Amino acid sequence: MSNDWPLYEVFIRSRSGLEHKHVGSLHAADAAMAVEHARDVYTRRQEGVSIWVMRSSDIVASDPTDADALFEPARDKVYRHPTFYAIPDEVKNL
């Protein structure tokens, strides 16, 4: 009964050195089965070298309606970017 199987989120490391990235989700009876299923569902074309799974119910997400309050304050802080500072062309390696 697939309805009894909890949902797992799947993260794949596409190659050595990179971080795991979220690729999707699937149902499985337990974590070990989730890894096996993730192998079959998400890496049929050698998409990865490592798999992480976690119960979807363990994820706490920000509320989309809060997006402005959370992220808008960073919008006018252009001085956090290197291009904000005018350095004469003659000065190298900065």
Partner 1 sequence: MYTQGLDSLGKECVHTAAGDTAALEARFQGKVDADEKIEPKDWMPDAYRQTLIRQISQHAHSEIVGMLPEGNWISRAPTLRRKAVLIAKVQDEGGHGMYLYSAAETLGIEREQMLEQLLAGTAKYSSIFNYPTLTWADIGAIGWLVDGAAIMNQIPICRCSYGPYARAMVRICKEESFHQRQGFEIMLALARGTPEQQAMAQDALNRWWWPSIMMFGPSDTESRHTAQSMRWKIKRFTNDELRQKFIDITAPQAQFLGLQIPDPDLAWDESTQHFKFGQIDWSEFQAVLKGHGPCNRERLEARRSAHENGRWVREAAAAHAEKQRARAQRAA
Residues of this chain that interact with partner 1 (CB under 8 A) are: 16-19, 31-32, 35, 50, 54, 77, 79-82, 84-88, 90-94
C-alpha 37/C-alpha 26 separation (Å) is 8
DSSP of 64-84: GGGHHHHHGGGTT-GGGSGGG
Q: Letter for the amino acid at 27?
A: H
Residue 45 CB, shortest distance to partner 1, in Å, is 21
Residue 91 CB, shortest distance to partner 1, in Å, is 5
Residue closer to partner 1 (CB basis): 1 or 16: 16
